[in-house]
């Protein structure tokens, strides 16, 4: 396995200031739509980076479920590692990587819990099996084995067997990352990639180019 020998020359597109939308959220929408149009697998998958109790970075893949002028929203168990970490330190980083388009987006900002009504509305859109899984899984906790988890799911399935609607667990909900910094990366030849960074100043954004 010779990882050092792996090489790929990028050159599908360029990214120029003249083509970039003045609002990074709108620019993100343009790139997300391109990823959707290209039928990429899981285009809304993003790395969520938080900080643990020791000050160490902690990352995992979650799914973006909404983006609007207020930020980037995802849903999870508030009692999971990421939920506890965001409660203690709400600063968060997001990374999207669309290799087929030679693109990456990095976002830094502050995470806020979504209102219960918004989380509930999304929870009711989820498949029933996923709703039951939210009740069954003590997310991020140590469990004895797979059988324990499957038994919990059976219990929750029986518990709500006669209920037309599975209620949202009190420990489940969503977060919205309100961005302060958004960087768009486009692969270019000779490793001279395009990097455009937006930085928030009050209600306005400053756009600047970074060296690759």
Residues recognised as catalytic = 191
The DSSP-derived string for 150-194 is HHHHHHHHHHTTT-SSPPPPTTEEEEEEEEEEEEEEE--GGG--E
| The pair of three-digit structure tokens given for residue 74, joined into one six-digit string | 């995802």
d(CA 149, CA 142): 11
The dihedral sign for the CA sequence 75, 81, 84, 88: negative
Q: What is the CA radius of gyration of the chain?
A: 20
Q: How far apart are the first and last CA of the chain?
A: 27
Alpha carbon of residue 99 to chain centroid: 16
d(CA 136, CA 146): 12
């Amino acid at each position: 396995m010779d990882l050092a020998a792996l090489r790929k020359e990028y050159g599908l597109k360029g990214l120029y200031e003249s083509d970039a939308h003045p609002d990074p959220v709108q620019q993100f929408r343009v790139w997300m739509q391109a990823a959707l149009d290209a039928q990429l697998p899981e285009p809304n998958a993003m790395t969520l980076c938080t900080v643990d109790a020791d000050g160490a970075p902690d990352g995992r893949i979650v799914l973006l479920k909404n983006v609007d002028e207020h930020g980037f929203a995802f849903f999870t168990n508030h009692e999971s590692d990421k939920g506890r970490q965001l409660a203690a330190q709400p600063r968060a980083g997001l990374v999207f990587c669309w290799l087929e388009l030679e693109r990456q987006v990095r976002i830094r900002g502050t995470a806020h819990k979504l209102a219960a009504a918004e989380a509930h509305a999304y929870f009711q859109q989820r498949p029933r099996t996923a709703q039951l899984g939210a009740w069954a899984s003590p997310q991020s906790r140590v469990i004895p084995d797979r059988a324990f988890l499957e038994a919990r799911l059976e219990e929750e399935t029986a518990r709500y067997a006669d209920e037309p609607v599975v209620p949202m667990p009190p420990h489940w909900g969503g977060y919205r990352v309100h961005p302060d910094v958004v960087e768009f990366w486009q692969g270019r030849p000779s490793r001279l990639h395009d990097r455009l960074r937006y930085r928030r100043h009050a209600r306005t954004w400053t756009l600047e180019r970074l060296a690759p």
